[in-house]
Structure 1
Amino acid sequence: MNPNRAEIDDRTDRKTVLVTGASSGIGEAVAARLVHEGHHVVAGARRADRLRALAGRTAEAASRSGGSFHAVQLDVTDREDVAAFVAEARDRTGRVDVFVNNAGVMPLSRLDSLLVDEWDRMIDVNVRGLLHGIAATLPHFTAQGSGHFITVASIGAREVVPTSAVYSGTKFAARAITEGLRQEADPSIRVTTISPGVVASELADSITDSGAAEMMRTYRTHAIQPDAIAGAVSYAIGQPADVDVNEIIVRPARQR
């Protein structure tokens, strides 16, 4: 037995949950909330220092709840990296119950700005990263006869505005891929798409186009906190096994 393997008790509601993009924003909030609720969380992100800090902040909650937190440096654009991430989680706890595909980037710009490298980055993280998570996890879910995929998409998966063409394109794709997975997967595997509206996060910090940055400052005037999305993730996970929450939209009351 792996000496580092987390102790698993008989609580059927205690799950092993993998969260990508867990070093800030929604991913950080999801990881922290689920540890507080007693789950075994394996958190992945590129910024290992941020994950270590989050581990420190969740240590007391894990001790109280019986959950656990384990950090793994992860690049979702690297298929082998994602496969190793899933394998490590399974080795630590004996199973994988939930995969939260949260990692995403949002360097908005007009198409005529021709920021092609930024377009490529969005495609790599927002679409290929999602597919890598599915490819790495679906065989485990199939073999154990249960599992839950959760895709954190965006309100941009339902609408396009100036500067969001490529970003919305990747999120439309994420929503379509997740819905296709829901239809194709065995009924024992649950599939949920969560589309946040304006949420306080670091996503907008990657915008280099000055016009898009100014529009985003106005757009983000009324943002909700990431824990609102973490609550939606918790709700979907906490439903009985025969209940599949397919889609949730969460946005500020003032966002119309």
Structure 2
Amino acid sequence: MTENSRPLVAVITGASSGIGEATARHLASAGYRVALLARRVDRLESLAAEIGDGAIAIEADVTDRDALVAAALRVQDELGGADVLVNNAGLMLLGPFGSEQKDDYKRMIDVNLLGAMTATEVFLDQLTANGAGDIINISSVAGRTAVAVNGVYAATKWGLNGWSEALRQQLKPAVRVTVVEPGAVATELPQHTTHEGMRQGIQQLYSTVEVTGDDIAEVITFAVTRPRHFAIHEVMARPSGE
């Protein structure tokens, strides 16, 4: 509970599936009221109904600042403001670098990097209002290493990591900034790949992954529920055999 005795509020982008959906459930179980943001509002409404306890579903694309501003107004009016922001919305569009995927590169930069920055900018006043906020940025193992077919995806995650560290230094101690860097997780993420030569292979690889969104959601919930004198700045979490 916050100082004015209202429940703590968590805003989760990309909440319609995968890590975002699992995080919503876990944070709700931990006593948070959750605001679910994504483009697929039908899924959000079903999840909000399942969670109950004041959960709200908001159709919002993180590349649309006006939609995020409208979402922030709803969170303020209906829930009293955000205490936690989970920047989870993301795309992984793999393939060799070249003109064939130029549209994919822009989409990943707009969603993975600029989307997280814009959501944070829009919700920042709410997160700092009580002097006890949390920002969770979902990065990737690709934010620490790169391979031939994930160059732009890796670039967005390296960029997210660097910006997160600068943000941590700026906002401490009022807002804790945590970067979570998952390895392969059994989610819809590989289904986004548009490169024909990559899609089948990456989907086959991910079909064997045992790590789930719930595993990462447990890490996120642990981080935000620590006492305020303790901050977890970075967590790399991957399948034990990866």
- TM-score band, normalised by the shorter chain? over 0.9
TM superposition shift of 1:143:
3.4
- Whole-Å separation in 2 of the counterparts to 1:10 and 1:182: 23
1:124-168 Cα distance to aligned partner (Å, 9 max, x none): 100110111121122223333221111011111111012100101
> 2:235 aligned with 1:251, yes or no?
no
Q: Which residue pairs with 2:46 in the alignment?
A: 53
- Whole-Å separation in 2 of the counterparts to 1:118 and 1:9: 41
Give structure 2 stretches of 5+ with no counterpart.
Answer: none
Q: Which residue pairs with 1:145 in the alignment?
A: 131
Equivalent residue runs for 1:230-241 within 5 Å: 230-241=217-228
> 2:81 aligned with 1:102, yes or no?
no
Q: Which residue pairs with 1:65 in the alignment?
A: none
> 2:116 aligned with 1:130, yes or no?
yes
Q: Mark the CA change 1:10 to 1:146 in structure 2 (over 3 Å): closer, same or farther.
A: closer
Structure 2 contact 15–36 (Cα < 8 Å) conserved:
yes
1:48-105 Cα distance to aligned partner (Å, 9 max, x none): 111112123223xx4xxxxx31110011001121122122112112231000000001
- Whole-Å separation in 2 of the counterparts to 1:13 and 1:169: 39
- Whole-Å separation in 1 of the counterparts to 2:6 and 2:155: 36
TM-score by length of 1: 0.88
Q: Mark the CA change 1:241 to 1:155 in structure 2 (over 3 Å): closer, same or farther.
A: same
Secondary structure, aligned partner of 1:127:
helix
Identify the match of residue 185 of structure 1 among 130, 146, 171: 171
- Whole-Å separation in 2 of the counterparts to 1:11 and 1:236: 23
Paired-residue identity, %: 36
Structure 1 contact 13–238 (Cα < 8 Å) conserved:
no
Identify the match of residue 165 of structure 1 among 134, 140, 151: 151
Equivalent residue runs for 1:26-37 within 5 Å: 26-37=19-30
> 2:16 aligned with 1:16, yes or no?
no
Structure 1 contact 222–254 (Cα < 8 Å) conserved:
no
Give the letter aligned to residue 49 of structure 1: D
Give structure 1 stretches of 5+ with no counterpart.
Answer: 1-7, 63-67
1:176-222 Cα distance to aligned partner (Å, 9 max, x none): 11111001114111110001111011111111212222431353233
- Whole-Å separation in 2 of the counterparts to 1:92 and 1:195: 32
Q: Which residue pairs with 1:4 in the alignment?
A: none
- Whole-Å separation in 1 of the counterparts to 2:128 and 2:2: 23
Mean alpha-carbon deviation: is it higher for 221-230 or for 118-127? 221-230
Give the letter aligned to residue 166 of structure 1: V
Q: Mark the CA change 1:142 to 1:54 in structure 2 (over 3 Å): closer, same or farther.
A: closer
TM superposition shift of 1:31:
0.6
Q: Which residue pairs with 1:42 in the alignment?
A: 35
Query: In angstroms, what is the RMSD of aligned CA positions?
Result: 1.9
- Whole-Å separation in 1 of the counterparts to 2:34 and 2:128: 21
- Whole-Å separation in 2 of the counterparts to 1:240 and 1:12: 17
1:14-68 Cα distance to aligned partner (Å, 9 max, x none): 4100000000000000011111222100010000111112123223xx4xxxxx3
> 2:214 aligned with 1:227, yes or no?
yes
How many residue pairs are counted as aligned between the two chains? 241
Structure 2 contact 91–112 (Cα < 8 Å) conserved:
yes
- Whole-Å separation in 2 of the counterparts to 1:113 and 1:214: 21
